[in-house]
A and B are shown apart, each in its own frame.
Chain A
Amino acid sequence: MVNSLADPLLRVENLVRRFGGITATDNLSLNVMSGELHAIIGPNGAGKTTLISQLTGQLAPNSGTIHFAGRDVTRQPAYRRSRLGLARSFQTTSLLPDFSAIDNVAIAAQAHDGHSFRFWGNARKEKHLRDAARSALTRVGLEARADVPVSELSHGEQRELELAVALATKPQLLLLDEPMAGLGVTESARMVALLKELRREVTIVLVEHDMEAVFALADRITVLVYGRVIACDRPDAIRNNEEVKRAYLGDQHVVVAHG
């Protein structure tokens, strides 16, 4: 583990989550430092999404603690963690399908602009919400598609919109659950370029299957197998870690060597 005087932004200690007889998160500990891009990789069923869901509060752990920005958030509901600056994107796109792209983002900005028990004024005419939404859309390259309903956006555009929604909540920590899932080669490249920019502004935890992307982006990589951390280190060290190769990389070794 890297020694640092600074406290980690996210500190996970001895997290356990069981589903029936299966331990999806097995005594897992993890530190994410402020400013880093921390990738989490692992074979299918390693418990990556389960972990993310516990971090964001959609799922309660059986035991263990989660500290975010110095606060114990283990028992805090999802909406409160979001208020503290923790944002997520979903593995399977989860947007508001009846809303336009810009409404999806504007409502995220609205969530972090005081309470929403305002019944009279037209929310679509609030300039600062629209501006915030438009700038988040511009960041991900969707400004031209602002008024298109989500159901008419392509899959790639929906993934980008997921990111814009998360950005609009002005997060300190961005949890991205497979942002590259289902993207074509060009779209993936665009997403990597986008993440390269974002990492300068916000701490990111990236769960991703695309090894090329992971090794190109990550400061540190945590490898999960059966809900346990088997390694946590810098990309070059992970690449040469025998246990990781054996447990996980296997055939993809070649791809990694190129990364």
Chain B
Amino acid sequence: MTFPITPRNVVAALVAIGLLLLPLYSHLTGNIFILTLFTRIVIFALAASSLNLIMGYGGMMSFGHAAYLGIGGYAVGILSFEGIGSGFIQWPVALAVSALFALVIGALSLRTRGVYFIMITLAFAQMAYYIVSGMSRYGGDDGLTIYKRSNFDGLIYLSNRVQFYYLCLGCLFGGLYLIWRIINSRFGMVVQGVRSNEQRMQAIGFHANRYRLVCFVIAGTICGLSGALLANNTDFVSPAVMYWTRSGDLMVMVILGGMGSLFGPVIGAIVYLVLEELLSQFTEYWAMIMGPLLLLIVLFARGGIMGLLGRLRLG
């Protein structure tokens, strides 16, 4: 495989290197905050990348993707609360429950298209939100504190800031590699073909919805992993993480970075969360600045930041 030297690839490579070297910078400057911030960013980048798989490549505008953040998080939280601290149990459960939820939601939602699909995925995510809010044993509305991070004894220690950061980064790079393989595989070709022209794909012999559903489940499972990471990062999980505005945040990251570009959601997550951080230092009404900014991107930069870079020429 070859990666031509284009502005997009150069930026992606620089960002990847930057992310790899970040703990070094943090160590040298003594700036712990930046490591904490970027751990969060990396986790959301993985979640946004999984959404990109169905939204950008599959054309499925899911407005309930944050549900898997919650499901992955609660799987870790609840098991920990019930005394099962091993990550080797917690994480597979988080992934399995996310996959199952995606399978059920997908099987029902994928009967619809367009706006109806957006609304039905939103409705299911909100349902999950209210169910979790009602689980009084696990903190209900107030959320659930996780007193001990997932235990991977002998392998990796999640309470070590640097080790945890690299675990998150490893998951992100692994997730991106997986998505990259998928979109270039036979399966990925079918999913992208269905996005492009469903009727045509049926006519040449593909049962479109089967492929859509499997893609939906893969994306949900990857996002469930982000959820498990996020819960460990905050030592806490609450219904708020699956509220519809969170799903909106993920969509914004994807659109901002560039839908249907592999690295776009990573850029989107970085820009969105760094801006949020910076702007909220000036004013609590940071959304007033973020809003118009997004509007400009959507109006003038279809394809997001990666789309803009794609139009640049080197040399």
Q: Which residues of A contact B (CB under 8 A)?
A: 56, 58, 77-80, 82-83, 87-88, 90, 94-99, 103, 106-108, 110-112, 116-124, 126, 165, 168-169
Contacts and interface: CB of A to CB of B under 8 A. Distances in A.
B184 A111 contact: no
A80 to B, nearest CB: 8
A90 B182 CA distance: 30
Interface of B: 181-182, 184-190, 192-193, 195-197, 199-208, 211, 214
A117 B187 contact: yes
Contacts of B206: 79, 111, 116
A121 B185 contact: yes
B205 A82 contact: yes
Contacts of B199: 58, 94
B202 A103 contact: no
Contacts of A122: 184-185
B181 A120 contact: yes
A126 B185 CA distance: 10
A230 B197 CA distance: 36
Given A58-B202, A165-B204, A120 B196 contact: no
Nearest to B218: A119
Contact of B205 (A94, A97, A169): A169
B189 A116 contact: yes
24 contacts: A56-B203, A58-B203, A78-B202, A78-B203, A79-B202, A79-B206, A79-B208, A82-B202, A94-B197, A94-B200, A95-B197, A96-B201, A99-B192, A110-B186, A111-B205, A116-B211, A117-B186, A118-B185, A119-B185, A119-B187, A120-B181, A121-B185, A123-B188, A169-B204
Contact of A123 (B189, B195, B204, B207): B189
A88 B207 CA distance: 16
Nearest to B185: A119
A108 B193 CA distance: 10
Contacts of B201: 96, 107
Pick the most buried of A87, A96, A112, A121: most chain B CB atoms within 10 A of its CB.
Answer: A96
Closest CB pairs A-B (n = 3)? A82-B205, A111-B205, A96-B196
Pick the most buried of B181, B182, B192, B197: most chain A CB atoms within 10 A of its CB.
Answer: B197
Given A118-B185, A119-B182, A121-B185, A77 B202 contact: yes
Given A116-B189, A117-B187, A123-B185, A97 B203 contact: no
A83 B186 CA distance: 17
Question: Chain B's interface: helix, strand, loop or mixed, by majority?
Answer: helix
Given A118-B185, A121-B186, 4 more contacts: A79-B208, A95-B197, A98-B192, A169-B205
Given A95-B197, A99-B193, A107-B189, A88 B203 contact: yes
Nearest to A124: B184
B203 A82 contact: yes
Nearest to B260: A98
A114 to B, nearest CB: 9
A98 to B, nearest CB: 5
Contacts of B186: 110, 116-119, 121, 123, 126
Pick the most buried of B188, B207, B214: most chain A CB atoms within 10 A of its CB.
Answer: B207
Pick the most buried of A78, A108, A116, A120: most chain B CB atoms within 10 A of its CB.
Answer: A116
A203 B82 CA distance: 67
A203 to B, nearest CB: 18
Nearest to B211: A116
A79 B206 CA distance: 5
A122 B207 CA distance: 21
Contacts of B208: 79
Contacts of B196: 96-99
A95 B200 contact: yes
B209 to A, nearest CB: 10
A123 to B, nearest CB: 4
A124 B200 CA distance: 19
Contacts of B203: 56, 58, 78-79, 82, 87-88, 90, 94
Nearest to A82: B205
Nearest to A103: B189
Nearest to A108: B204
Contacts of B182: 119
A105 to B, nearest CB: 10
Nearest to B194: A96
Contacts of A107: 189-190, 193, 201, 204
Contacts of A97: 196-197
